[in-house]
Structure 1
C-alpha cells in the first residue's frame, strides 16, 4: 500500500505521467484516462496564497487515492488538473459511475487556513482500446472531452472513445468559425422588448447575440458559445458583447429612447479579472448611466458560493450596474443564497410560463416567486409569454413585467427602434384577441 503524498512534488508531473501511460499501453490496449479539473480553484489562491492552494490540491490527490485505491495511476497534468488511469475495459456508464463516486465523496469539505472549500470537478474521459492509437492522441481526446464537460450546463462529464475523431476536429472548426466571425464583423446584437404587462408599453430590452453566417444566414450562436467556452475565448466574446451593447445604449439615448438594457453574462466572465475595469471604461467611453445597464446571470452562477464571483458582483453593484437572476426555477434554487443575494430582478423561467394554462403548480411557482421578490424589494419578470391567456393569468397574479413572442421575438436594432416609436403593443394584440388593460 502506498502511503499518502506529503508534497505535490511527489506526484508525477505531466511528462512522467505520460511515460507511465506509455508503459500501461505496452501491456494492455484496454484502459481509460480520466482528467479531472478542480472548479473554482483560483478562489483559494485569490483568497489566501499559493501555499493554501497547494494544500488543497494535495488533499484532493490523497483523497482521490483513498476513493479509488492506492494503486491508482495518478498524475498532475497541470496546475489544477489531475490525470487518472483505470486499467481494463470500461463502458461510458461505468466511467460515469466513477465520476459520480468522485463527486459524492467530495461533498465533504476540505479545509485550509481554517476555511472550508467544497471541491467540485469537470471530468473528461477517453477510453483506449486500439493499439494503433497513440498515447498522445488519447490525451488529446481526453482534453477535448474535458473542454466539452466545462461547456456542459447540465452535467460536468464528457466521454469519448479512441475511435472517435469528431471531438477535436469539430472543436477546431468551431474555433476557426468564432475567430472569423469576430474578425469579419459577422456578429450582431438583437433586442427583445421587455414589456409592462399592465399597459403593454416597452420598458427595456434584453440583448441577444446573433451570428450573420456568410452561407447560412442569421443563426443562433449556440455553436459559437460552445467554441468560445471550449477554447477559453468566452471573455473575448463577452467583451465584444458588452462593448456593442453599451454602444447601442448610447445610440438609443441620442434618439431620446431612455430605457435600460440587459446583457447576459457567462459564468467564465465572472472569473475574468479585467471585467470590472472593462465595464467601467466602456461606461465612461459611451457616456451611459450605469443604472441603465443590467447584467443577467444564470441561476447557478448567481447562487455560486465562489468568493471571486461574490467579489466581482459586489464591485459591479458598487458601480451602480443592476444585477438580475435569469431562468429562475430551472435549476436547483438554494433559497438561503437567494435570501442573501442583492438583486434588481428575478426572471421566471419560461418553462413555468408556457404551461400556465394547464398546470396549476406553475401558477403557484409564479406566485411564490412574486412573494420572494416583494420581500427582497426586487422586480419579477416573466419570460416566454406566448399567448393572450398567459398574459391575462400573469396580470391577475400581479406580475408587472415580462417578455415573449406574444409581443416580439428578438429583433435587429433598427426594428427595435421602430417598436419603441410605436410605444406599446395594443395594436398588435388587438387582432389576436380581446384584451383589456387593467
Structure 2
C-alpha cells in the first residue's frame, strides 16, 4: 500500500509540472517527443504513439517502442481500427480483455496484453470539441494491466497536450499561409515586371532600372546609352509562318540579347518586335562595336518550319545626358532615331535633334506656351468616373486643354512635357488647381457634389510651396479637402523621391487623397508605392483596352486589382471603351471605371447637361463644402 501511495504522489507531482514544461517548448516535434517521454515515464508503458488527424486520415507523428517501418506505413481512416473508432466516437478505449474488442488487427492482438487509446480533443472557447488525433499506449511494464486510474491520468495528459498541439498546428497553418502569400506576391511582382512571352523585363521594369541608375551617384558623370532594337520584316515572317513561329523568333532573339549583357546592363522587351538595351558607362566611341556585336548576334540563322532564317534589325540610340535626363524622353528620342534609321535604311542611328521631325512644332509651341495662361487660352475638360458597385458617378478627372489660335484644341500630351522641361508646369498647374476648385465650388453651390481629381507633375512634387498654395485655394473656394484628389504617376516620385514624399505627406496631412496614375507603366510599381501616402491606383489604359482580346492583359489587370486591394487601395480602370470591358472589370472586383464608354472629357457646362441626361446616377456626398 505504501508503494501505491508513493507512486500516486509521484504521478500527481509530475502532472503538476507537465503543462508548464509543455508550454515552454517552442519546437513542435520537441513538444510531441516530450509528451511521449512524459507519458511513458508516468504510465510505465512499453510502447506509445501519437497520431494526428490530417484530411480525415490518422498518421503517426511521434512514437517510441514501435518499428520505424510501422510508423511510416500506418495510416488509419476515421471509423477504422481502434484509433479510427476512438476519433469517430470521441471516447477512449481501455482494453483489459482484448477478446472484447472484435476490430483489433492481428498485429495488435498478437502483441498487446492491454492498451489505452484516447482521443486528443481541443475544446475552444467558442466552438465544440475539435478532434486533433489519438494517443495510444500499449503494455504496462511487468505484465500489469492498465487501470481506470491510468485512464484518468492519460485523460489529463491528453487534455493538457491538446492545447499545445492545437497552438502549434495553428502556428504551422499561419506559417504556410504566409509562405503561400509571399510566393503569390512574388509571382505577381514578376508578372507585373516581366514580359510573358520572353521572360525579359518589360517596359515597367526597364524604366524602373533606368531611373534608379540615372540617380545613382556612381554613374552621375558618365555617358549612358539606350538602344531600341527593332526586327526588320517581322510582320512578313508572322504572316508567312504564323504567329506561333513569330513568338518563337522573339523568344530566341530575346534569349540571345540577354546572353550578351550582364548587370548593371539590362535587356527588355518593350512590346511587339521592339527590344530595349540600357548600357551604363558606354559613350559614343563605344557604340560602333556594341551595335556590330548586337547585329551579328541577331543575324545568326534561326531554323523555323525547316527554313533557315537570317533576321536583320535596326537600332535607334539616345545618350544620357546629351539627349535628356528623363527616362521616358530617352526612350522617345531613341524611338525617333530608330524611325530615321529605318527611313534611311541604315543599321543604326544616334538621335539628332536636327533630324527630329517633331522638333520644329515643339519649338513653336514652347515659345507660345508662355503666353497661353495670360491670353486665357487654357480650358478645363472633365471626364467622369463611375463606381462599378453602384453605377453612380464617383467624381471627375480634370484635364487641361490648350485652345491654340492656329492649331486648335491641343491635348496635354503635346505640351505638358515641354512645360515640365522648361519650368512652365508650375504656372499651368497653379492655374488648373485654381480653376478646378473654383468649378468644384460652383457645382457644390448649385447642389451638385462632385469630387475633382487634378494631375501633378514631377516638378510640382518638388515644390515645397505647393501644400500651402493648395490649402489656400481650398479655403478660398470653400471646398472640403475630401473633394480634391491629386493624381501622380509612379515616375514623378522617382525624380526626387525624398522631397516628393515629403510634399505628398504634407498634402496628405491636409486631408487630400492621392492616386497613382498610369499604374503598371511607371518606374516603381512595387518598390515605392507601398511607402507612399496614396489611397488609389489607376490601371493604365494600355492594359484595359485589350482585355477582351488578350488573356495576358486580363491576368495583368486582375493581378493589379488584387495587389491594390491587398494594399488597401481603391482601384480605378482607365480607357474603358465598351460595355464588355466595363462588365468584365466589375466581375474582377475593380472599384471604379473611366473611359469613353462612360463619357469623353467635356467642358463644365456640357458635363452638367450630361449628368442630367445620362443613365449614370450621381453619388451624393455628405460634405459638399466647409
TM-score, normalised on structure 1? 0.62
Contact 1:323–1:345 (8 Å) recurs in 2: yes
Q: Cα deviations across residues 189-239 of structure 1 (Å, max 9, x unaligned)?
A: 100000122442211000011111223332213332233123221111111
Contact 1:257–1:420 (8 Å) recurs in 2: no
| TM alignment of 1:359-370, pairs within 5 A | 359-370=550-561
What residue in structure 2 maps to residue 337 of structure 1?
Answer: 528
What residue in structure 1 maps to residue 464 of structure 2?
Answer: 273
CA distance, structure 2, for counterparts of residue 163 and residue 334 of structure 1: 35
2:384 counterpart of 1:193: yes
Determine which of 312, 324, 329 is the counterpart of 1:152. 329
Higher Cα radius of gyration: 2
Contact 2:462–2:496 (8 Å) recurs in 1: no
Pick closer, same or farther for the CA change 1:277–1:372 going to 2, 3 Å. same
Q: Cα deviations across residues 41-66 of structure 1 (Å, max 9, x unaligned)?
A: xx99xxxxxxxxxxx6xx767x749x
User: Please, which moves more after superposition, 164-173 or 259-268?
Assistant: 164-173
Structure 1: tracts of 5 or more residues without a match: 1-38, 45-55, 68-83, 98-120, 126-144, 427-438
| TM alignment of 1:411-430, pairs within 5 A | 411-422=602-613, 424-425=615-616
User: Please, which moves more after superposition, 323-332 or 363-372?
Assistant: 363-372
| TM alignment of 1:126-205, pairs within 5 A | 145-146=323-324, 152=329, 154=331, 161=352, 170-205=361-396
2:466 counterpart of 1:289: no
CA distance, structure 1, for counterparts of residue 520 and residue 285 of structure 2: 41
What residue in structure 2 maps to residue 123 of structure 1?
Answer: 320
CA distance, structure 2, for counterparts of residue 357 and residue 162 of structure 1: 40
Pick closer, same or farther for the CA change 1:423–1:153 going to 2, 3 Å. farther
Pick closer, same or farther for the CA change 1:294–1:93 going to 2, 3 Å. farther
Contact 1:190–1:411 (8 Å) recurs in 2: yes
Cα deviation for residue 289 of structure 1 reads 0.7
Cα deviation for residue 297 of structure 1 reads 0.8
2:585 alignment partner, SS class: helix
2:494 counterpart of 1:317: no
| TM alignment of 1:256-271, pairs within 5 A | 256-271=447-462
1:335 alignment partner, SS class: coil
CA distance, structure 2, for counterparts of residue 153 and residue 163 of structure 1: 16
1:182 alignment partner, SS class: coil
CA distance, structure 1, for counterparts of residue 393 and residue 545 of structure 2: 21
2:426 counterpart of 1:244: no
What residue in structure 2 maps to residue 393 of structure 1?
Answer: 584
Cα deviation for residue 170 of structure 1 reads 4.8
Pick closer, same or farther for the CA change 1:305–1:379 going to 2, 3 Å. same
CA distance, structure 1, for counterparts of residue 354 and residue 477 of structure 2: 51
RMSD (CA atoms):
3.7
Looking at both structures, which has the greater relative contact order when contacts are Cα pairs under 8 Å and sequence separation is at least 6? 1
Pick closer, same or farther for the CA change 1:346–1:122 going to 2, 3 Å. farther
Pick closer, same or farther for the CA change 1:257–1:92 going to 2, 3 Å. farther
Cα deviation for residue 344 of structure 1 reads 1.4
Q: How many residues of Structure 1 are paired with residues of Structure 2 in the alignment?
A: 312
What residue in structure 2 maps to residue 357 of structure 1?
Answer: 548
CA distance, structure 2, for counterparts of residue 253 and residue 370 of structure 1: 32
